[in-house]
């Protein structure tokens, strides 16, 4: 990933749900062009933040020591609805919850809020695939360690 849209995971229940936060800042490069006089976090990036946290939830819930590592791949945006604008200075909270699993596909429901306002509601579908790349696995371990450094207890990162 070139950019990360989760700053910290604030809660995690394996196989159930996770919550994370993103502090939107005027120093976020995308806000300089979207829009010059009305900086707004694009809906596509709110969706990407939910996908990153949804992938974290699935990977951390299913990978086991000694088994081949699988990574979550977003394969479908089932539903995406955007409600309120998110701008600089706002703390975005993303909540994801595991839904139904059919075959190798798992649905994840997500909600993006800032303060008391709902910014987005999403339903995403992921598949878990074995990825034979040490670089991918090390990158995920590194970012997951950063995201979970304040969790107690801190989950084992594979």
With b for 16 or more beta-carbon neighbours within 10 A and e for fewer, the 16-46 pattern comes to ebbbbbbebeeebeebeeeeeeebebebebb
DSSP state of 102: E
Distance CA 99, CA 76 (A): 14
Q: Which residues contact 57 (CB under 8 A, 6 or more apart)?
A: 12, 17, 18, 96, 98, 108
- Residues marked as catalytic: 34
Q: 81 has which bridge partners?
A: 121
Count CA atoms closer than 13 A to 93's CA, side-chain side.
11
Q: Hey, what are 8's tokens?
A: 């910290």
């Amino acid at each position: 990933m070139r950019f990360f849209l989760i700053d910290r995971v604030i809660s995690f229940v394996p196989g159930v749900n996770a919550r994370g936060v993103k502090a939107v800042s005027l120093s976020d490069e995308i806000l300089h062009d979207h829009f010059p006089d009305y900086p707004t976090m694009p809906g596509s990036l709110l969706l990407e933040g939910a996908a990153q946290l949804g992938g974290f939830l699935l990977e951390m819930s299913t990978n086991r020591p000694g088994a081949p590592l699988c990574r979550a791949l977003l394969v479908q945006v089932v539903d995406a609805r955007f409600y309120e604008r998110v701008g600089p200075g706002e703390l975005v909270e993303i909540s994801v919850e595991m839904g139904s699993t059919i075959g190798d596909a798992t649905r994840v429901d997500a909600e993006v809020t800032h303060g008391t306002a709902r910014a987005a509601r999403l339903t995403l579908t992921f598949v878990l695939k074995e990825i034979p790349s040490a670089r991918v696995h090390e990158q995920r371990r590194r970012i997951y360690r950063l995201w979970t450094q304040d969790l107690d207890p801190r989950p084992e990162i594979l």
